[in-house]
Structure 1
Amino acid sequence: MFAEIITIGDEILIGQIIDTNSAFIGKELNKIGVSVYQITSIQDDRTHILNALRDAKSRAQIIIVTGGLGPTKDDITKHTFCEYFNDQLVENKAVLSHVEALFAKYINTPISDINRKQALVPSKATVLHNANGTAPGMWFYEDNTVYVSLPGVPFEMKHLITNEVLPKIARDFKRPYILHKTIITYGLGESALAARIEDWENNLPEFIKLAYLPNLGKVRLRLSAKGPNKEIITKAIEEESQKLTSLIGDLVYGTENEETLEHVVGQLLTKKKLTLATAESFTGGRIAESITAIPGASAYFKGTVVSYATAIKIEVLKVDSELIEKHSVVSAPVAKAMAENVKKLMKSDYAIATTGNAGPTKGDSNAAVGTVFIAIATPKRTVVEKFIMGNQRERIVEKSVNKAFELLQKEILKF
């Protein structure tokens, strides 16, 4: 079974906002055995919407549209659906009562006729209750095709997908099972990794596909299986992932079930009842940001010092100024001192320190752009590694953040 996602909004096409709705919808549909065939973004334009709906019908059995359901004149989706289905708008009493209740409870301004128009829906639509907003979702069924229209506001859309759309699809349609398992590797590039597992990949069952997903120092290997029998594909995925791990076990840090490396490190620290602090220079707090984005990180993360300026390294982290003079601010000795001193300052078990030159200029160091030092202070020792991360600023920072977590994980696992 195939679905197509259509997002409506000029703000997407001009780059004013990023289309996160499609990513969420695609992931959730995949979980219940619906494959997304195509994602299309279009203008708030009647002809464009009509053509998109007709084109999608030729490819998919389920068409999900987000956006264009507000009360203002530029939101034309409901009117266009009426034209597409040769229908007319009618007032839905339940939606009107909901809109009036929302205004009475949460909104200080009086409800207007414009707001009441949210209760107008095509007569052929099954209304999907939007508990989080005034624009209802709508479900149409015609010529063996489902059309779903949802608000573009992400938290409203997510609620409707989770509580209305997915349960209805699951009840109404027989679907295949789709299963993914992602193995994350560090330390070897995509082409070298492919050469190493070539024989195994060539002998995969026909219903299992392998995808390489490289990204800044790591490669995710995603195994995907699709079929009518859940037990068969589950067993096959497990068997093949075990074979794969036996071939590249030295490169694998774990599997991904919505987990990142920082999640894995956090779980290790929590399990071992250990704590972490960071001292960041050119990474500017990105490592700390990645850690604190995880719920429960307060159990193991003590804090950070973003010592972007050399003076802060000296005054706050107590790095010896003579050490900086002798070796340069971008150097292994300075990275080592930063890690050890922030560990002492925060009274943590482990510490990460970064110092480097992300460019475009050399700053307080003569080190070439892309030169990076990452230090890990542990309860027993401090290790420092030097890397050359290229010459693109954002890539240098992101690769360094990934590498810092990789090095930390390796050190934690040694003790």
Structure 2
Amino acid sequence: MKAAVVTIGDEILIGQIVDTNSAFIAKSLDKIGIGVVEMLSISDSREHILKTLETLQNKVDLVVMTGGLGPTKDDITKKTLAEYFNDDLVTDEAVLIHVEELIQKVMNRPVSQMNKDQALVPSRGTVLFNRVGTAPGIWMENENTVFVSLPGVPYEMKYLMDNEVILRLISKFKRPYILHKTINTYGQGESLIAERIEDWENNLPEFIKLAYLPSPGKVRLRLSARGINEEFLQESIKEESEKLKAIIGDIIVGYEEEESLEVVLAKVLTEQRLTISAAESCTGGRIAQMLTSLPGSSAYFKGSAVAYATEAKVNILKIDQQLIDIFSVVSPKVAEAMALQAKKIFGTDYAVATTGNAGPTKGDSDAEVGTVFIGIATPKGVYSEKFEFGQPREKVIERAANKALEKIYQEILKN
């Protein structure tokens, strides 16, 4: 099956809000074997909506639309749907009762005619009952395509997808299985990984596809398999993953979306009852944010000092001013001193420190923009490494934070 996702609303097109609905819908459909082949964002315009419906008719099996079902004049999706299907809007009594109860009892105000008009639906459509809002979803079929219209409010859309749309799609259509496995790698770029696994990739079965999902400091490799035998697909992906591990096991740190480096690091720290701290300059608290994004992180992460300016390194971390004067604030000596002081201040087993020039200017150091030193303090001593992360600024910060966690993870594994 092929599906298209359409978001309707000028607020998306002008960048006023971010479209999170399409991602949720695509993931929900993928889980039941329906592949999204197209995503569109269109304006609140009768002409654009009609043209989109006409274009997608019989091109895909399913069209899921969000937006334009509200009570105001600019919400024209229902009217346009009725026009496209040569249908009339009628009042659905069950929806009307729900709207009146919600407005009067929950919102504690009189029901206006505009509120009552929320119960208007195309006469030949199937109502998708929205228990968490006033705008019902609509399911309509024409020739070889199912059209589903959902509210643009994310929590209402999610409720209808989970409780109405997915169940109906499972009941109506025979679908293939689509399975994914994500391998998380750190420390090498996309092109280098591609070179290392070229022979393996060239010999993948036709029903398994590989996608590279790079971001600063890490690359996710996603294996996707499609077919009618779920057990066979699972075994095939498992077999190919094992082959891949034999080739690049040195840079693999976890599997699936939830096994990011910070998650894997958290498991190791928890299992070994170790603690960690940080002293951050150029990363500006990014390392602390990554570590504390996980529940229960206080068991192993004790704190971070964001000593961004030189005087903060001297006054807060107690780094010797003479050391900075001799070696520069962006140097291996300062990175190591920062890591040692963080370990001492927070009383942890390990500490990581970053100092560098993220750009766009050099700041307090003559080191080239993109230069970062990462210091690692362990129970046995301290060391540092130099990295050149290039530009732009956001990339330097992201790569430095990921590399810092990667280095501390490798250090813990060694011991």
Matched, 1:123 2:131: no
C-alpha deviations, 1:277-315, integer Å up to 9, x for none? 222212111222222222332332222222122222222
Given residue 372 of structure 2, which amino acid in structure 1 is its aligned partner? V
Larger mean CA deviation between 330-339 and 65-74 belongs to 330-339
C-alpha deviations, 1:207-254, integer Å up to 9, x for none? 111122222222222111100000111111111111111111122122
Match of 1:42 in 2: 42
Given residue 153 of structure 1, which amino acid in structure 2 is its aligned partner? V
Q: Provide closer, same or farther for how the CA distance between residues 285 and 32 of structure 1 changes in structure 2, counting only shifts above 3 A.
A: same
What are the within-5 Å matches in structure 2 for residues 327-346 of structure 1? 327-346=327-346
Match of 1:156 in 2: 156
SS in structure 1 of the partner of residue 103 of structure 2:
helix
Once the 2 structures are TM-superposed, how far is the Cα of residue 105 of structure 1 from its aligned partner?
Answer: 4.8
Once the 2 structures are TM-superposed, how far is the Cα of residue 340 of structure 1 from its aligned partner?
Answer: 1.9
The answer on whether the counterparts of 1:285 and 1:304 sit within 8 Å (CA) in structure 2 is: yes
Matched, 1:81 2:113: no
Once the 2 structures are TM-superposed, how far is the Cα of residue 148 of structure 1 from its aligned partner?
Answer: 0.9
Residues paired across the two proteins, number: 415
Match of 1:323 in 2: 323
TM-score by length of 2: 0.95
* Percentage of pairs with the same residue: 60
Match of 2:240 in 1: 240
Once the 2 structures are TM-superposed, how far is the Cα of residue 106 of structure 1 from its aligned partner?
Answer: 4.3
Structure 2 unaligned runs (5+)? none
The answer on whether the counterparts of 2:184 and 2:260 sit within 8 Å (CA) in structure 1 is: no
The answer on whether the counterparts of 2:33 and 2:177 sit within 8 Å (CA) in structure 1 is: yes
What are the within-5 Å matches in structure 2 for residues 2-17 of structure 1? 2-17=2-17
Once the 2 structures are TM-superposed, how far is the Cα of residue 108 of structure 1 from its aligned partner?
Answer: 5.4
Larger mean CA deviation between 391-400 and 112-121 belongs to 112-121
Given residue 59 of structure 2, which amino acid in structure 1 is its aligned partner? R
Matches of 1:181 and 1:81, distance apart in 2 = 38
What are the within-5 Å matches in structure 2 for residues 11-160 of structure 1? 11-107=11-107, 109-160=109-160
The answer on whether the counterparts of 1:211 and 1:223 sit within 8 Å (CA) in structure 2 is: yes
Once the 2 structures are TM-superposed, how far is the Cα of residue 42 of structure 1 from its aligned partner?
Answer: 0.6
Runs in 1 of length 4+ with deviation above 6 angstroms?
A: none
C-alpha deviations, 1:119-139, integer Å up to 9, x for none? 222222222232332222221
Matches of 1:378 and 1:166, distance apart in 2 = 51
Matches of 2:215 and 2:154, distance apart in 1 = 26
Match of 1:180 in 2: 180
Matched, 1:214 2:217: no
Larger mean CA deviation between 315-324 and 66-75 belongs to 315-324
Coordinate RMSD, CA, aligned: 1.8
Matches of 1:128 and 1:295, distance apart in 2 = 36
Once the 2 structures are TM-superposed, how far is the Cα of residue 66 of structure 1 from its aligned partner?
Answer: 0.8
The answer on whether the counterparts of 1:186 and 1:218 sit within 8 Å (CA) in structure 2 is: yes
Matches of 1:374 and 1:178, distance apart in 2 = 41
SS in structure 1 of the partner of residue 235 of structure 2:
helix
C-alpha deviations, 1:299-343, integer Å up to 9, x for none? 322222221222222222222222222211111122222222222
C-alpha deviations, 1:25-82, integer Å up to 9, x for none? 1122111110011111111101111111121123211110011111111111111111
The answer on whether the counterparts of 1:279 and 1:353 sit within 8 Å (CA) in structure 2 is: yes
The answer on whether the counterparts of 2:187 and 2:406 sit within 8 Å (CA) in structure 1 is: no
Structure 1 unaligned runs (5+)? none
Match of 1:200 in 2: 200
Larger mean CA deviation between 21-30 and 115-124 belongs to 115-124
TM-score by length of 1: 0.95
